[in-house]
Structure 1
Amino acid sequence: MSSLVERVAETITRYNMAAAGSRIGVAVSGGADSIALLRLLVQLAPARRYELEVIHVNHKLRGAESDADAEFVRAVAAGFGLRCVEATADARNSGGNVEAHARRLRYDCFARLMRENQLDRVAAGHTRSDQAETVLMRLLRGASPGGLRGIHPVTEAGVIRPLLEVDREEVRAWLQRQGAVWREDSSNSDRRFLRNRIRLDLLPALERGWNPALSKLLAQTARLAFEDSVYWREQMDRLLPAVAELGSGEAVLKLDALAALPAAVRRRLIREALGQVRGGLDGIEFEHDDRLLDLAESRRGEGSVSLPGALARRSFRLLRISRAGAATSEACPQFEIPFPVPGALGLPDGLRLGADLVRRSRDSRYNTEDPGIDWKKVRGSELFVRSWRPGDSYQPTGLEKVCKLKDLFEKARIPSWERAAWPMILCEGEIIWTERFGPAASWVATPETETALVISVTRQEK
């Protein structure tokens, strides 16, 4: 085997890209890198028992030139006796960043073709030169340490990059020695695209004027950042459950637990929580991290921050991050519903109230922990469950005077986002019970009560 074949084999092994016997779809555009990738995997396939198929995605961006690329790829696949699977992902109406739009469509196609063709992996032809350009581009735009990972050797979606430790020039030189031909994409010389300006102008100028080894160093930076990310991934999986409660479309962070950790860990945990809520960190920049950290570390117990695709709200020593548009208790409409006794009732925000009539025996007629409501006082009246309203007040058992619910919330440190759907039971317009604070003093069961109405509360996991 040639030294290049050996190096690619080492890269595949180092990153555990594809096990022996894997079914691999090779993404071939017709350009030099993808043609080299295909030829290299064809040479490696017998020893590793790889089953190869060629994948070609036509974005229709260059008209007849795109169609000619597809015809060329079909011929190449046929020359190796391989099946060619084609997909069309028209990227002409991107409405913005054409490259980014085409990339999203392309990887959507890869995922679909993997499912439809029972492929274990899709191999893409990114080189170390592509890696250097990506890292430099992200540095120019402003990237977190995680962003400097650049192009990943292996993705969770099953995309692998066997050429990621080989320079573009090496690939072309190897192809020329093989007598191979490839297609040139005319859009690669279009300086309207940032990546092309970096590849054609900026990176060569930096290598000429400052450091000839810059591309190699940038790729090394990406590799170090990737190795760090593997470690931090394990740490986030371990630490996040200890400082946050994750639900559907939201995460609630416990700020006392967060404050006990080093600054670098706090920032990463907040980003991790934000990423899980949003489904990723696209569009999240350094200033957004800082605004979240400032809110978490502020001496004020209240506040909120709007972020791309998310809203963060602080209440006491909790910080809730919710996905934009996600259903929350704050967004639940106010409710007032007849309450069946005995029975159970499901309420908004996943709450369920149960009502049981408990007959007291002569020896254990009174339960000081859960005395319930004196059934004799409410029997014959229609009971209602409704949500909290500003100005609501009642006198809980054990307190000497009527209190506003808002004051009880504050004293009990109930987060502001839980209050809107806070349930209470009313009899003839009077509050006789609320969650957590229990029966009203004038309605509570006493040692003389024969039958008590006992309310149970369960919350559905989010």
Structure 2
Amino acid sequence: MDWLAKAADLGVLISKNRLHQSVVSILDESGTAVGVACSGGLDSLAGLLLMVAHFPRLRDRLTVLHFNHCVRAADADKDQQFVGEVSEALGLPFFSDQWVRSPDEKVSESSLRKARLKFFDKFVRKKNRAIIVTGHQQDDILETLMLRIARSSNLEGLSAPRPVTIFGKVKIFVRPLLELKKEELHSAMHQLDIPWREDASNEGSDYDRNRLRNEVIPKWKTSTQFDLGKAAAKVSEYFSEADGAVRHLMDFYEYPSPAESSVCLPDSVGPKAILRKFFTQWIAKNGHSGSMKPSLVNDILGSIEVEEDGKWSVGNQFLVLVGRRLSFVSCNQSEEVPWKDSITLQEGGETILSNGNSLSMRIVEPFPSLLEDLGAGKYSEDSTVLIDRDHLKSDSIQVRKWLPGDRYKPLSGPGSRKLQDMFVDRKISHKERNTLPVVENGDSVVIWCPGLPVNHNYRVTSKTKEILQLTYKILH
């Protein structure tokens, strides 16, 4: 078969101005490598042939991309062979790979997509920078929109698939067929006797998308007078516009860069849509976009709005909210939470510790009422102690993990005691004591450990002129 002639004929039936014009502009102006994803099916093969027909200037930079998911045995290998033969007939390089799946990895829509995206990334790395062309058409928008609604997706998710998706400076996904219906592509390919590969798994009901495509959407289309595909495309466009507006407003409210693992939110976070946008960007930058359910995101956003501190387990980390600060803190599910080197406490600040909890230090005035509360035992040694700042030999106060041999004289105690003995007296478990912070001065003298009395030598008296309040907060 003369595939170049077939490409030219298809270009006559489906002219260049029928392609999405934002994609056409990018491709016409591009000077980078272009990879055309082709499974061998109707949509992606039509997309490949139209790329050859309408973008002759790109021929020297076009590569055909095919990923073999290896889930359909011999049929998948035949798909790969077919696309390879078409590529050779078109005079284009063929870049392919196969999914090497671990024995415990399940086949799902999500795992298939992740494997495919890794393959595209491999091509981009090879070229340093590239545009990836996919064969999504208008019917895919309706399917994706319905799936995203079912999964409570945010604005960005509801606007997918977009004509153009930019990932940093090295990768751009473009979808030139989004204004074409599948039936139009089918009619043109059939009229020209162009063969394509059929994926039998698309007819099954194993995946949500298949059930929507084969059962739900056909019934919906026959029961309404509206053009559902066109309507879904327009709604997706509206969502995209709204998402763009929210992105713009993030700068107005002076949100920080989402690339850091610890960020301080602005005093005014603005409407919830803007807060949600920043938060989803932040968790994505920190590698957690796939590990947080919408209900968890809503719970965290609610805590931010009412200014309620909290701690949530996310993957192998804690997400900690203290005041206006959001932080990801490493955690370990074993007996001991790993501590980094000692941390210096800052006056007036709140420090997130390795166990995901917080320790704050601030100066308070020695008012008579405060001293009365202290004498009446209203301060719990588990969470808050007051120390005489004048007794510190330096302004530096450090926090570190407990070490065997640590000792000091507890408040009103007869003499120096080991922390280990006091832990035993108070039935503080090995697991808990390995996570508790030990507060010491600049000369490595232990001042306090939550759950234990303050060091007797740093106690507050009626002669105290300046008081430091230490507060240990367990975030749930």
TM range, smaller chain: 0.5 to 0.7
Equivalent position of 1:333 in the other structure: 339
Q: Deviations over 1:59-117 (max 9, x none)?
A: 11111111111111121112111121221124585733422212111111111122224
In the alignment, what sits opposite 1:313? 320
SS in 2 for 1:426: coil
1:426 to 443, 451, 460: 443
Q: Secondary structure at the match of 1:69?
A: helix
Q: Match for residue 292 of structure 1?
A: 300
One-letter code aligned to 1:164: L
- Deviation, 1:47, is 4.7
Shift in CA distance, 310/47, structure 1 to aligned 2, threshold 3 Å? same
* 1:43 Cα deviation from its structure 2 partner: 0.8
Q: Distance in 1 between matches of 2:244 and 2:306?
A: 31
Count of equivalent residues: 362
1:235 positional shift? 3.5
1:361 aligns with none
Deviation at 1:11, TM superposition (A): 4.3
Question: What is the letter of the counterpart of residue 159 of structure 1?
Answer: F
In the TM superposition, what is the alpha-carbon distance from 1:320 to its structure 2 partner?
2.6
CA distance in 1, matches of 2:145, 2:342: 57
| CA distance in structure 2 between the partners assigned to 1:59 and 1:336 by the alignment | 48
Q: CA offset at residue 160 of structure 1?
A: 1.9
Residue of 266, 270, 274 corresponding to 1:265: 274
Gap change, CA 1:17 and 1:92, over 3 Å in 2: farther
Distance in 2, Cα, partners of 1:393 & 1:98: 60
- The answer to whether residue 311 in structure 2 is matched with residue 304 in structure 1 is yes
Check if 1:322 corresponds to 2:328: yes
Deviation of 1:231 after TM superposition, in Å, equals: 3.3
**Greater alpha carbon shift after TM alignment, 231-240 vs 261-270:** 231-240
Name the CA distance, whole Å, in 2 between partners of 1:107 and 1:270.
Answer: 24
Residues 94 and 101 in structure 1, CA contact (< 8 A), matched pair in contact too: no
Note if contact 1:306-1:312 (Cα within 8 Å) is conserved in structure 2.
Answer: yes
Matched, 1:28 2:38: yes
C-alpha distance in structure 2 between counterparts of 1:334 and 1:175, whole Å: 62
The answer on 1:275 being equivalent to 2:284 is: yes
String of CA shifts for 1:389-426, please: whole Å, max 9, x gaps.
899999xxxxxxxxxxxxxxxxxxxxxxxx94766222
Aligned to 1:122, the other structure's residue is in SS state: strand
Amino acid across the alignment from 1:158: I
Q: 2:137 aligns with which of 123, 127, 133?
A: 127
Report 1:411-450 matches (<5 A): 420=437, 424-426=441-443, 429=445
- Give, in whole Å, the separation in 2 of the partners of 1:101 and 1:287: 22
Q: What's the CA shift string for 1:169-203, capped at 9, x where partnerless?
A: 11111212333111111111011111111001111
Q: Secondary structure at the match of 1:219?
A: helix
Using a 3 Å threshold, how does the CA distance of structure 1 residues 230 and 387 change in structure 2: closer, same or farther?
same
Q: 2:213 and 2:225 mapped to 1: Cα distance? A: 15
Q: Tell me which residue corresponds to 1:400.
A: none
**Which segments of 5 or more consecutive residues in structure 2 lack a partner in the other structure?**
1-10, 344-352, 355-391, 411-435, 448-456, 459-476
What's 2:163 paired with? 153
> Contact 1:77–1:83 at 8 Å: present in 2 too?
yes
Cα distance change on mapping 1:120 and 1:275 into 2, 3 Å: closer
CA displacement 1:272-330 (0-9 Å, x = unmatched): 333333x252243332232113322346x543333456533343x33433155499xx9
Map 1:4-403 to 2 at 5 A: 4-8=15-19, 10-13=21-24, 16=26, 19-47=29-57, 51-91=61-101, 93=103, 95-117=105-127, 120-155=130-165, 156=167, 157-236=171-250, 239=253, 241-242=255-256, 247=260, 250-254=261-265, 257-258=267-268, 261-277=270-286, 279-298=287-306, 302-307=309-314, 311-315=318-322, 317-322=323-328, 325=331, 333=339, 387=400
Look up the equivalent residue of 1:318 and give its one-letter code: R
Q: Are 2:20 and 2:179, in contact at CA under 8 Å, matched by a contact in 1?
A: no
Q: What's the Cα RMSD here?
A: 4.1
Alignment deviations for residues 412-449 of structure 1 (CA, whole Å, 9 cap, x no partner): xxxxxxx947662227x476xxxxxxxx99xxxxxxxx
CA contact (8 A) 2:408 2:446 kept: no
Identity %: 24
Structure-2 change in CA distance of 1:6 and 1:282 (3 Å): same
Q: Which amino acid aligns with 1:304?
A: K
**What is the rounded CA distance, in whole Å, between the counterparts of 1:216 and 1:391 in structure 2?**
74
Q: Give a deviation string over 1:232-278, Cα, whole Å, max 9, x none.
A: 33433564645x8964xx33434x714x623332333333333333x
Question: SS at the partner of 1:77?
Answer: helix
- Runs of at least 5 residues in structure 1 that lack an aligned partner in the other structure: 338-347, 350-371, 375-382, 395-418, 432-439, 442-462
Is contact 1:127–1:168 with CA below 8 Å preserved after alignment? Answer: yes
How does the TM-score come out when normalised to structure 1? Answer: 0.66
TM-score by length of 2: 0.65
SS at match of 2:66: strand
Over 3 Å counting, the alpha-carbon distance change for 1:257 and 1:64 in structure 2 is same
SS in 2 for 1:217: helix
2:139 is matched by which residue type in structure 1? S
Letter in 1 for 2:176: P
Q: Is the 8 A contact 1:386 1:425 kept in 2?
A: no
**Residue 54 of structure 1: SS of its match in structure 2?**
strand
